[in-house]
Each structure stands twice: as structure tokens, then as C-alpha cells.
């Protein structure tokens, strides 16, 4: 006796058949365009053919994954000067650390107007061990995923929200490091201290600097993301 299925199950089955039919049509079309002899696709039924198809599909899905990225947050620049942005952040109740002000006084810190930034994050707990969780490793992982390097002004745009709104106690913006007045390389960060004070500060960008599991790192979403 046939199993009685609900509407949701039927919808999933029909969707699956639709994907399968589309995939078969694609294979036939590709075989024709490549001039493969008739019967070539039957080889997919052999163990060797299935292994080849699996490898090709895995490589294809890896490329697709680069364009399917959940955008964490979108912010838009306002054209305000760094001083105006600092005032806005302070009015929102956030403390701006002097070291952060120092970074924002450098020529590398540039503000824009009407630029929309689609942001993604990498969480510190995505790395298995502390030794793997360094500034250089996080940056390399972001580039491997196809993420972009955000401008430093993103930190000030994020700093106008509370940490509760941002959803992370520590957010390090992975812009190109800026040389501080003391000679060290640093990036901007928004965070809440243990005493509850929320700050716009900095993070040492030394490549070997290890980071905690609870830190999240902000990048730009890849071009052409669909989610």
C-alpha cells in the first residue's frame, strides 16, 4: 500500500525531480556541445564514471559556495568626517579609545559618502585550536573564501550600534592594518569590556597575534553574492 504523503513532502519530491531533470538536460546539452559520441553518458553508470562525476560536481559546488554567502549586516557610509563620526559614536554611548582616534588621524583612514558595504564575518570558534587562530590565519581564511578587505570606516559605522544589536562582544574589522604613532600595526575594533563599557578601540595586527574564540572578524561579502 502506497504511503500517504502530505503536501510538503510532495512539494520536496517534485522539487527533487525538477532538479534531477534539469541536471540531466544540462549533461545532455554539454555532451552535444562537446561533440561526445552517442552513448558516452552511459559511462556515468559505471563506478569510474560516478567517481568522475562526483569529483567534477564537488569542484563545481565549491565555486558556487563562493557566491552563496549569508550577508551578516549591511551599512552605508554617510560622508561625515572622522571627527563627526567619532562624535556620532560617542553620542550613541560608546567610548572612543585614544588609540582608535590615533588610527583615524592617519592618511590611510578615508571616509566615503553613500557607499554600501555588505559585510560577512568569520567567528574565532571556526578555528579548532588557539595556534590556528592568528591574525594572519584569519585574514588568509577570509581571502580563501573570496571575502573582500573592508575599509577602516566600517568600524565607525558599526560602532553606532550597541554590541547587543551587533550580536558579538568583539568585532575586529579586517581592513588593511594602519601604522599607529607608536609604530605598531593595528586595525579598528568595536567591543564591550568586562565592566560593560562599550568601546571603539583597536586590535594588534601582528600576523602571529593569537585571538580568542569569542572574537568575530568582519570582511566584505564577495561580489555577486545571492544570499
pLDDT at 131: 85
pLDDT at 9: 73
Of 208, 197, 101, 95, the closest CA to residue 152 belongs to 101
pLDDT at 84: 93
R_g over Cα of the chain:
24
pLDDT at 72: 93
How would you write 154-190 as a 3-class SS string? HHHHHCCCCHHHHCCCEEEECCCCEECCCCCEEEEEE
pLDDT at 48: 83
pLDDT at 168: 95
pLDDT at 62: 66
pLDDT at 30: 79
Q: Name the grid cell of 21.
A: 531533470
Residues of the chain with pLDDT under 70: 1-4, 16, 19-20, 22, 61-69, 224-227
pLDDT at 53: 77
Determine how many CB atoms are found less than 10 A away from the CB of residue 48.
Answer: 9
CA distance 220 to 122: 11
**Contact partners, residue 63, CB within 8 Å, separation at least 6:** none
pLDDT at 73: 93
pLDDT at 93: 93
Amino acid at each position: 500500500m502506497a504511503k500517504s504523503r502530505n503536501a510538503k513532502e510532495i512539494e520536496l519530491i517534485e522539487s527533487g525531480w525538477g532538479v534531477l531533470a534539469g541536471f540531466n538536460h544540462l549533461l545532455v546539452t554539454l555532451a552535444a556541445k562537446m561533440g561526445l559520441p552517442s552513448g558516452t553518458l552511459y559511462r556515468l553508470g559505471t563506478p569510474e564514471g560516478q567517481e568522475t562525476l562526483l569529483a567534477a560536481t564537488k569542484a563545481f559546488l565549491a565555486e558556487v559556495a563562493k557566491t552563496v554567502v549569508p550577508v551578516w549586516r549591511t551599512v552605508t557610509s554617510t560622508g561625515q568626517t572622522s571627527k563627526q563620526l567619532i562624535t556620532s559614536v560617542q553620542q550613541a554611548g560608546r567610548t572612543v579609545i585614544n588609540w582608535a582616534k590615533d588610527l583615524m588621524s592617519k592618511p590611510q583612514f578615508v571616509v566615503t559618502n553613500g557607499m554600501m558595504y555588505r559585510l560577512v564575518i568569520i567567528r574565532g570558534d571556526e578555528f579548532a585550536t588557539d595556534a590556528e587562530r592568528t591574525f594572519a590565519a584569519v585574514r588568509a581564511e577570509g581571502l580563501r573564501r573570496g571575502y573582500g578587505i573592508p575599509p577602516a570606516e566600517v568600524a565607525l559605522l558599526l560602532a553606532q550600534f550597541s554590541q547587543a544589536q551587533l550580536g558579538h562582544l568583539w568585532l575586529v574589522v579586517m581592513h588593511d592594518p594602519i601604522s599607529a604613532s607608536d609604530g605598531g600595526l593595528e586595525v579598528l575594533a568595536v567591543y564591550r569590556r568586562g565592566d560593560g563599557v562599550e568601546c571603539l578601540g583597536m586590535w594588534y595586527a601582528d600576523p602571529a597575534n593569537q585571538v580568542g574564540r569569542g572574537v568575530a572578524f568582519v570582511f566584505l561579502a564577495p561580489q555577486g553574492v545571492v544570499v
